[in-house]
Amino acid sequence: MEQYIIKGGNPLVGEVVIGGAKNAALGILAAAIMTDGECLIDNMPNVRDTNVLLQAMEGIGATIDRKGDNEVVISGKNIDSTGDLIVDNEYIRKIRASYYLIGALLGKYRKAQVVLPGGCDIGSRPIDQHIKGFRALGAEVKIEHGMIIAQAEQLVGNRIYLDVVSVGATINIMMAASLAQGNTVIENAAKEPHIVDVANFLNSMGANIRGAGTDVIRIKGVEKFHDTEYSVIPDQIEAGTFMMAAAATRGDVLIKNVIPKHLETISAKLIEIGAEIEESDDAVRVVAAQRLRHTQIKTLPYPGFPTDLHPQFAAMMCRSSGGCEIEETLFENRYKYIEELKKTGGNIEVFQKKAIIKGVPKLCGAHMKAPDLRGGAALVTAALCACGESVIDNTQYIQRGYCGFDETIRSLGGDIWTI
């Protein structure tokens, strides 16, 4: 078991370059097997989840040619479509994005058997909307022995209304419908930046998708896809994590390779609580010289405040002068980080589904366990601004979504080491 050893008290100062968006890359990598040609994908985040997905794709016959840490060439040409196309191993069971292979395989080969998705235990994330969409396109879908089994003689476009906004279902249906006969309309679609990025990638292979980024996506099915080269967008959540770490430690960090439009909600909140934000075309600078002021947030689908930044925001606000109220509307188990954060002296309680934070002058080092990916990032944020030494266990969760997290923090002056 790997641990982080962190000695807090140093403001983060310097520059950080943000990598490709994990949540976009996972959909893009899966979609790349939908062509017999070659897909060159650049700015791919070299994190645990993407590496596990690539391994699973290779296991069903896809050609995976790594050109470096952040570049890969993928082809589905050698996938044996006469078999059952079963995706299952001990690693793929631990990530959420395994389900993207259902949409990709069903769209291209009209069949798929994929293990039920894993991922962080942050709350209920049912796949009923995925199944609803596949069935609306003409597929038979069943769940047996922990596997999702989907098959279809043919896929035919349809009008699909999602009962709840779902990023995963939007991407999955979009992939399958791209190679279906006729037209598909997805209503109440998710609008996150990575939805747009996956749609743009599919279009670069020859798909005909319009409306990504709005709540109505229109897809005209095509017969096949072709070669493409594509660069993944920067990671909004990684950028937001470093923005909050800079503010929490009262530092001065220039965060490069970002799309400031994707960070507007985060920037607005940081300005509201007293941080300074400077934006350029592809960078954001965060400066915080004093204690942060009171605020409140409510997590919502994009363009609202992202649930994946809720824990980091809470950690940052533990040393604020006025505290904070956080209402989590998407994942009921998101608050699991709180008991660990309280070990540092943070005054935070959950009352009527809201986290109530009363700011304290200082936090103290503690031995903590990362409960999940973003909760782990929150504990690192708290440890960086705490007095004394902290130990954080279960850092494998953090490695699922951040590449070289400790190295990047060290480059900014943070005292953090992996053992």
Are the folds of 4-19+234-418 and 22-231 the same?
A: yes
Which residues are annotated as catalytic?
120
The correct answer on CATH 3.40.50.2000 for the domain covering 22-231 is no
pLDDT at 119: 46
pLDDT band at 91 (very low <50, low <70, confident <90, very high): low
Domain boundaries of the chain, sorted by first residue: 4-19+234-418, 22-231
Residues forming beta bridges with residue 112, ordered by sequence position: 150
pLDDT digits over 60-80, tens only?
Answer: 999 999 999 999 999 999 998
Task: Determine if residue 339 is left, alpha or beta; phi over 0 gives left, psi from -120 to 50 gives alpha, anything else beta.
Answer: alpha
The per-residue pLDDT of the chain, averaged, comes to: 94
pLDDT at 235: 98
Alpha carbon distance 304, 130 (integer Å): 23
Instruction: Name the more confident of 334 and 245.
Output: 245
pLDDT at 118: 59
* Percent with pLDDT over 90 in the chain: 86
Residue 161 pLDDT exceeds 50? yes
Residue 123 pLDDT exceeds 50? no
Mean pLDDT is lowest, of 81-85, 223-227, 351-355, for 81-85
| pTM, two decimal places | 0.94
| Torsion angle of C-alpha atoms 7, 13, 17, 18, degrees rounded to 10 | 60
Alpha carbon distance 65, 74 (integer Å): 6
| Torsion angle of C-alpha atoms 331, 126, 203, 198, degrees rounded to 10 | 30
pLDDT at 122: 41
Taking a C-beta distance cutoff of 8 angstroms, is the pair 58, 64 a contact? Answer: yes
Which runs of consecutive H residues, i.e. helices, occur in 273-395? 310-317, 338-341, 373-384
Mean pLDDT on 24-42: 97
- DSSP codes of every residue in 233-244: PB-HHHHHHHHH
User: 4-19+234-418, what's its fold?
Assistant: UDP-n-acetylglucosamine1-carboxyvinyl-transferase; Chain (3.65.10)
Mean pLDDT on 30-54: 95
The tokens describing 363, both together, are 């936090």
Taking a C-beta distance cutoff of 8 angstroms, is the pair 320, 362 a contact? Answer: no
pLDDT at 97: 80
